[in-house]
Chains A and B, each alone.
Chain A
Amino acid sequence: MASRFWTAGSDSDEEEVDASEEENSSSEEESSSSSSSSSSGSDSSSDSDSDSDSDSDSDSDDSDAPKKGAARFLAGSDSDSDSDEDRRVVLKSAKDKRFSELTDTCDEIRNKMKINDWSAIQGLFDELNKRLERARKVSEAVGTPRVYVRMCVELEDFLNDTLANKDLKKKMSSTNAKALNTMRQRLKKHNTSDEFAEAVTKFRENPQEDEEEEEEEEESSSSSSESDTDGEREETEKRPAGAAKKKDKLLTMDSAEITYEMVAKKLREIVTSRGRKGTDKQEQVEMLQFLANVAKGVPQKLEVLLQLVGSLFDLSPGISNYMKVGLWKRCMLVMLEIMDTLQANEAIVLDDSAEPSEERTAEPVAGEDGKVRVWGNLVAFVERLDDEMFKSLQVIDPHTHEYMARLRDEPVFLALSQKVHDYLARIGDVRNQPKVALRLIEHFYYKTDAVYDAMRKLTMLQQEEAAASAAAHPEGAVAAASAAAETAAAANTSNEPGEEQTADDKVALPVPLDFSMDESSTAAMKRLVGIVFTHGDERAKARAMLCTIYHKALHGDFHSARDMLLMSHLQDNVMLMDISTQILYNRSMAQLGLAAFRLGLISEAHSCLQELYGSGHIKELLAQGMAMGKFQDKTPEQELLEKRRQMPFHMHISMELLESSCLISAMLLEVPAMASSPLSVKKRVISKSFHRILDTYNRQTFTGPPETVRDHIMAATRALMRGDWSGAYGAVSALTVWQLVPQRESVLDMLKKQLKEEALRTYLFSYSAQYRSLSLDQLCTMFEMDEKAVYSIVSKMMIAEDLHGSWDQPTRTIVMHSIEATKVQSLAGQFADKATLMVELNERAYAFRTGGLRDDDDMGGGGGGRRGGRRGQDGQWEDDGGHGGRGRGRGPRLGAARMGLGQGGQDFGGHRRGGGGGGRGDRGGFRASGFSSNMTSGLPDRFQRRGPYRQQANPNMQALGSISRPGGGVGGGPGGGSYNRPLGGDRRDRGL
């Protein structure tokens, strides 16, 4: 019979919890064992579960508690189950059984909590209550079982957490959300009801309290059916109990009586228990705090403090949430104390390779080099603190005071890092020093001078305050700080989380008085970057380099920033780096683009920004928000990861400014180019995104007054296309973003100048055919430019043969030689080109067979050069983004880049002249190069897409963009010419 029960039980483990309700008829089943109904089967199922407890033993006292509870009740009302021995083997007393039921339900609720299944929790909770009733009846005990109270508290906490976590809530299904709400109400009522309120508060006050008694009881009770002979488990279980006892003893002892050994032992206990489930972290922190005060000798104190920092970190939940500000501040205080101690005792060296002190009973003696080694890793702590600060800034709403308050904590962190850094420099730890230096760099690089100065002032202010308070309290600032920490600790131990929060926020964080920031951020950067470059690893170097580039660009030093970027070859391997570095790279590129724009280097700005902007994923690329695309199929994990990468608001680069800079650059480049070859089908596209926007704008039936950035720029574009520079300038200068630019005036002046020049060029392109001659003076007045500038621009156009005319010097006029092709002529020209292409293809085809009508390779080299002009033909392949990743037009290596710019020009005159490409078919040297590039357009499209500088920006933060050297324009790329050769070879292989 027993065996039958067994099988039944193991089958219907937990599924039948509902069924068990039916048999809550209170009578003790096992005594009336004759009733072998199915319900009794289920009953015994929960019975046999008491064995399964031993499975969950490993996770210590969460699952211990029920047993203990059961045991207690067993001992309290000793055996009305006077049953015989063989029965006891299988079945336990009724009380035991009831309590294991209770425990099971609790466990299940925990399980459901893990998967966030509220509707299940709701059901289970009801059941739990019912079981509680039953248990009470059986045991006739007064009060609520501890297991139950624990469950209630846990549930409540979890509920609060869930409610606080909005995203999680959003993701819930509607039934689940409903269940959550019901649960909330019910729990609220339940936990505040008279019956439980007291128990709950009592439990919260001391979650450990009666566990030890229980445990002791358990140990004494020989009737325990468990086989927990596992020694390790024993130890872990006893420890908290022991800790609590010792704590009491220690706490009450006179600090003079406490010996080194005692503290060391205690510390060791805490260390070993760290990280295990069920240890009360809060209590550990308290204990450590106490230990720190009574520790004997400086090294021990340090040990305790280091441990304390670790424990404080443990208090904060997981990586997805940020550390509470108060907690963070306490950590900072402890860290500062550690640093002060280290500073005061130069003989002590922190070393994470040193073994943590083993069985030491006396103060450690100095090593042979007169140093006392203490185990500890300051760098890890600093990094963690930094990460936590970053996380909190990510989460806090940037438009609140809270955010500002949080930012105010930065000086203290900087001070701490600086101290750690100096300390590492002192002990000559070159392995870790760069890490801290890099952290500091990452706090500096995005700061403009104004922000940096503000930060410096804030630091000084805070220092003054600290000094003042130190003067007020003679114990000194540190003592005050530790007092503050204690109040915070006290607040922490009180139960309400909300209260804790407010109390913690009040913790004053004094900036150490001996900290001073460098005069300028440039100096600070230089100092720190030097350290990283000499000692850092590859990643640190790359990041430091990118930060420097960003910083230089931010301060308007475009040239050296660009040189650094090119010389470091970062563009080549940024794709292989981690995502956060790629983001940094993108940020640097964006900043570089803005710097170029501010300096009026339009084409550079454009090539920097276009990749970022053209991708359509700019928000993700810069980690400044998530795009809400329609076709987003991100898994929650991806989304979470992405969220974790976001930049805090104060580090953002203005998106609007980026957009305006990018579009204006595109406009300035594109409009004259469009005007230069209105008829040509193979017009060169400089900026695809700009064209797209322009097309949409042109399709609008009604265009209202400009509102968005795009509208403004499109209005400007229209004006510019007519050569109306003042209209264009009006539209552009009306943008509000210019307020964000520090050198607003100069940027606007630059824009005006650029607009005038491009308007003049556009005007000449568009309307020169209508003139026989143009007066220089008239042009000057039209475009409000001085004579020299007009002269220069017009001459340039003449030389490039963009403008068919020449100066008549005595009369100061431009005389047009109108050889503008008529439409028929230009179409005929195009036709001829196409026929040439066909012949070329035939020749190639023939060459496959015979091995050469002519020497292909001689022409191959020229192909790259004409690409600019021929791009339009490739239009049909423009839209297949799939081949983006191919290595075409990569970021120029320095050598190649600098040289490459020249090479093209030498071979086939002036392909870089951009717009003129189409009209210059008859130039010498064109033939060979033109053919081979025509040729390539007949190749399969995957060879086609290799416009240099037009690297496709992959959504997943791939390396973006490359920057052309000045004057390089966006035309031919450095790789162009040389790329053609291997390509030809490849094709030949395919042919054969």
Chain B
Amino acid sequence: MASYELSSTLARFLDKHLCFPLLEFLQDKGVYNEEDIMRAKIALLQNTNMVDFAMDIHKELYQTDEVPATMMERRTEVVNRLRSLQKAVDPIIGCLSNSNVIRNFRHDRAFNLQFLKEEFDIGPEQIEALYQFSKFQFDCGNYSMASELLQAYKPLCTTSERNMSVQWGKLAADTLTQNYEAATEALLRLRESLDNQSFATPLMQLQQRTWLMHWSLHVFWNTESGKNALIDLFLQPAYMSAITINAQHLLRYLAAAVVVNRKRRNVLRELIKVIQQESYEYSDPITQFLECLFVHYDFDGAQQKLIECESVIEHDYFLTAIKSEFLESARLFIFETYCRIHQCINIDMLSERLNMDKEAAEKWIANLILSARLNAKIDSKAGTVVMGMQSSSMQESLAEKAKQLSVRTFTLANAVVGAPATKA
């Protein structure tokens, strides 16, 4: 199933720390060689400050108690840096932890800086140190701390680039602390600032949007309303073009979200179009499933793809949670589409299609009919489902039109005659 495994593709767009959960997940699933994953983890940690963690993994991987000298060196280096930063940052933290100070802050950044300078003699160096410290904490894996520090730093940062960094940092930190509410908010803010960013080159914007979408996967798939938000975000024109240009694999998540989310059927058509159009660059069982069903009306093919989908979803860090939901919705999709173009269906065949036994299928259909989602009747003698046909006749539609006309004309006439005062 490794061919549809996206981790390596996704990792290119994710923060080092955000990759980590993916690797953990892969280790659990055992898709890849465990040692390879461990090595990957060490490589990943190499550039972070989580030296101890890296050492642990190293020990586990090579079954030894010794760690390479480079790691030790790195460790002392990190510790030293921590000390120096801590020292630099102490005054400002002390100051900011005072709630009175925060209360005095205003929206005007220049004022804030001025205020700090005057009252506490805190200059730009300390503020800069605060930023560095929070980054350092983040690198150490101390995400909640980093998040807090960034929150404190935010009203003090002056340049817009730095502001962006802060926002990215906040999003990552909140995501990693699994504080999804805060993360959602951070995400929204970040998105706003991305869209309002006028200085960035198109290429930069494109890249940042792509990042944003990837990072947001962590948030969206872990919150209740996330799927809706995901659909909204990904279907934004700017983001959609980012997908089509350099992250076609995100279509999988969009497709899955749409399938699962019944309320958003209306975007299906749009999604299908994009999938079709990008099919020469990216396709996996999930997109193929939609393509089979809604482009080719190849129900057998769709059935086939659905089976493939199952294992793909199982091995996807983000989707694995919605597996059963997805399968259920997909089945419903097949059935609905099937019913739309048939007036008479054999239940045997249908149960086969739906991967259920006959009894269950009949029950399932009966339920659908009961819940008024299907206008049909079961002919149990012949073992068929007969669709109720509702076709509006030409006459009806004509009459409808004429009625509308008269209503509108009436309103218009009223408006003209009844409101002479407005005519000035």
Contacts and interface: CB of A to CB of B under 8 A. Distances in A.
Interface string B233-259: 001011011001100000000000000
A909 B343 CA distance: 23
A462 to B, nearest CB: 41
B349 interface: yes
Given A829-B397, A895-B237, A853 B411 contact: yes
Contact of A829 (B276, B277, B382, B394): B394
A338 to B, nearest CB: 42
A633 to B, nearest CB: 45
Interface in B313-344: 337, 340-344
A815 B416 CA distance: 51
Given A899-B240, A901-B277, A905-B269, A567 B245 contact: yes
A965 B408 contact: no
Contacts of A796: 295, 297
Given A850-B422, A898-B241, A966-B276, A807 B343 contact: yes
A790 to B, nearest CB: 11
A895 B244 CA distance: 9
Interface string A761-791: 0000000000000000000000000001001
B401 A836 contact: yes
Contacts of B337: 799
B342 A808 contact: yes
Given A791-B297, A853-B412, A902-B273, A799 B240 contact: no
A869 to B, nearest CB: 16
A846 B414 CA distance: 11
Interface stretch (B11-19, B60-68, B385-393): B385-393
Contacts of B276: 966-967
A559 B419 contact: no
B344 A902 contact: no
A843 B397 contact: no
A883 interface: no
The winner among B382, B398, B416 for most chain A CB atoms within 10 A is B398
Contact of A832 (B280, B345, B405): B405
Contact of A894 (B241, B269, B423): B241
B241 A895 contact: yes
A902 B235 contact: yes
A906 B296 contact: no
Interface stretch (A62-70, A411-419, A817-825): A817-825
Contacts, number: 145
B277 A808 contact: no
Given A798-B341, A850-B419, A921-B397, A909 B273 contact: no
A966 B280 CA distance: 11
A896 interface: yes
A806 B389 contact: yes
A341 interface: no
A835 B346 CA distance: 46
Contacts of B151: none
B274 interface: yes
Contacts of B405: 832, 835-836, 839
A832 B402 contact: yes
A345 interface: no
B298 interface: yes
Interface in A785-843: 788, 791-792, 795-796, 798-799, 804, 806-811, 815, 817, 819, 821-822, 825-826, 828-829, 832-833, 835-836, 839, 842-843
Given A567-B245, A810-B344, A902-B235, A967 B280 contact: no
B241 A809 contact: no
Chain B interface, >50% SS class: helix
Nearest to B409: A839
B313 to A, nearest CB: 25
A58 interface: no
A832 B349 CA distance: 45
A807 B341 contact: yes
Chain A interface, >50% SS class: helix
B391 A817 contact: yes
A910 interface: yes
Contact of B400 (A567, A826, A903, A922): A922
Contacts of A822: 394
A401 interface: no
Contacts of B340: 798-799
A825 B394 contact: yes
A810 B346 contact: yes
B299 to A, nearest CB: 9
A849 interface: yes
Contact of A843 (B244, B297, B412): B412
B342 A809 contact: yes
Nearest to B269: A905
Nearest to B239: A899
B298 A792 contact: yes
Interface in A214-229: none
A896 B236 CA distance: 11
Contacts of A849: 422-423
B267 interface: yes
Contacts of A909: 269
Nearest to B350: A809
B31 interface: no
Contact of A846 (B238, B344, B398, B416): B416
B9 interface: no
Contacts of A846: 412, 415-416
B99 interface: no
A836 B245 contact: no
A638 to B, nearest CB: 39
Contacts of B412: 839, 842-843, 846, 853
The winner among A792, A896, A921 for most chain B CB atoms within 10 A is A792
A901 B273 contact: yes
Nearest to A851: B422
Contact of B391 (A808, A819, A835, A843): A819
Interface in B250-305: 266-267, 269-271, 273-274, 276-277, 280-281, 295-298, 300
Nearest to B297: A795
Contacts of A843: 408, 412
Contact of B393 (A567, A819, A828, A850): A819
A902 B384 contact: no
B193 interface: no
Contacts of B415: 846, 850, 853
A909 B267 CA distance: 10
Contacts of A833: 401
Contacts of B371: none
A374 B300 CA distance: 75
Nearest to A828: B398
Contact of B401 (A559, A788, A832, A968): A832
Contacts of B422: 849-850
Nearest to B266: A906
A895 B238 contact: yes
B353 to A, nearest CB: 11
The winner among A798, A832, A894, A900 for most chain B CB atoms within 10 A is A832
A149 B183 CA distance: 97
B375 to A, nearest CB: 13
A569 to B, nearest CB: 10
B303 to A, nearest CB: 13
Contacts of B408: 839, 843
21 contacts: A799-B337, A806-B341, A810-B345, A810-B384, A811-B344, A825-B398, A829-B401, A832-B401, A839-B408, A842-B412, A843-B408, A850-B415, A850-B423, A895-B238, A898-B277, A899-B241, A902-B273, A902-B274, A905-B270, A910-B269, A968-B273
Given A792-B296, A902-B269, A906-B269, 20 more contacts: A796-B297, A806-B387, A807-B341, A809-B344, A810-B382, A819-B391, A819-B392, A825-B398, A829-B394, A829-B398, A833-B401, A846-B416, A853-B411, A895-B237, A901-B270, A902-B271, A921-B397, A922-B392, A965-B277, A968-B277
10 pairs of A and B residues whose beta carbons are closest in the complex: A795-B297, A899-B237, A902-B270, A895-B241, A922-B397, A832-B401, A806-B343, A825-B394, A807-B342, A798-B341
